Amino acid sequence: MYDKTVRRRRMVLGLLVVCSLILLTAYFGEGAGSPLHSVQRGFLQVVSPIQDGASRALKPVRDLFGWFGDTFDAKDERDKLRKELEQTRRQAIANAAAAREVDQLRKLVGLDKDLGVDQMSPVSARVITRSPTLWYSTVSINKGTGDGVRVDQPVINGDGLVGTVTSATGNAAIVTLITDHTSGVSAVVNESGVAGVVQPAVGNPNDLLLEFIRRGDRIATGQTVVTAGSRSQRYESLFPPGLPVGRVTKVDDTELNVYQRVHVKPFAQLRRLDVVQVLTDPLGARG
């Protein structure tokens, strides 16, 4: 029974194939006005409206699937663009930081040449942390006693005086900035030699005060303030002479006080320190 069914199906399939070959041969062998071509045109006339209706009915479904496809493609493209943007942003930040560091190193080289800092055994260090206060009164650097860094050594950057080392371990140190309330630097006005002490102004991290300047001493805005160093044989200053500290921005002449209030803006941008130098032998330049 099974074999008869298989043979019957094979015969039907063979007849269909033969008929198809006959019809194809006749179709391609006849002209455009032949009966087979007429049947084809009639079939198309009947089926075309059905196909058009079905196409219109299914268009919302096709559009819906197309919308889903476009949405997924758009999300993938959005994620790709976000990753590219993030990579570009990180690269831009790295480039800006590198450019800032190169600029600070270039200034340090210039300061070395101008002031003979290379004779003071400078140790270059990178700022690794900053104190969490508005004034950034201290910073930490990645060099310590193992590199010759000791407490009370002066610290500079390419613009001038930054502060002093107040604590040191084997591979790190803390630098107290000149804007800290405990700081005090003997200084002179470079153009006139008028001497005083630079101390931080209360409440303004960008303002220093050159204190103990008598009212009779002539101080003008725009003049530069540098470290005085020590001229005494009994006492040596922590700072060598001539290190740039800042520029005079304003002079308050108070009639009720013997001293003037001289405002000084530090040369060093203390909130943007990346690279500094510790002068491990600040008296070396004096021989």
CATH code for the domain defined by 122-286:
2.40.10.340
Position 215 confidence tier, pLDDT thresholds 50, 70, 90? confident
Identify the DSSP state of 206.
T
Q: Give me the residue label for tokens 């508005």.
A: 134
The pLDDT of residue 40:
53
Position 187 confidence tier, pLDDT thresholds 50, 70, 90? very high
Please count the other Cβ atoms lying within 10 Å of the Cβ belonging to residue 47: 10
**pLDDT above 90 coverage of the chain, percent:** 28
Closest among 165, 134, 154, 168 to 228, alpha carbons compared: 154
Contacts of 153 (CB under 8 A, 6+ apart): 164, 165, 238, 278, 279, 280, 282
Closest among 270, 256, 78, 257 to 179, alpha carbons compared: 270
Closest among 218, 219, 180 to 199, alpha carbons compared: 180
Task: Compute φ and ψ for 248, nearest 5 degrees.
Answer: -70, 125
Structure tokens at 73: 């493609």
User: What is the average pLDDT across 93-97?
Assistant: 57
> What does the alpha-carbon distance between residue 169 and residue 151 come to, in Å, rounded to a whole number?
10
Closest among 234, 284, 276 to 130, alpha carbons compared: 276
Domain spans, the chain: 31-115, 122-286
Note the maximum CA span of the chain: 132
User: What is the average pLDDT across 221-240?
Assistant: 75
Closest among 163, 161, 123 to 142, alpha carbons compared: 123
> What does the alpha-carbon distance between residue 273 and residue 157 come to, in Å, rounded to a whole number?
8
> What does the alpha-carbon distance between residue 50 and residue 104 come to, in Å, rounded to a whole number?
79
pLDDT, tens digit (0-9, with 9 covering 90-100), for 106-135:
666 656 666 677 788 889 999 998 886 655
Contacts of 185 (CB under 8 A, 6+ apart): 161, 178, 197, 198, 199, 227, 239, 245
Asked whether the predicted pLDDT for residue 68 surpasses 70, the reply is: no
> What does the alpha-carbon distance between residue 50 and residue 58 come to, in Å, rounded to a whole number?
12
> What does the alpha-carbon distance between residue 264 and residue 208 come to, in Å, rounded to a whole number?
5
Identity of residue 77: E
The pLDDT of residue 234:
43
The answer to whether 127 and 140 have CB atoms below 8 angstroms apart is yes
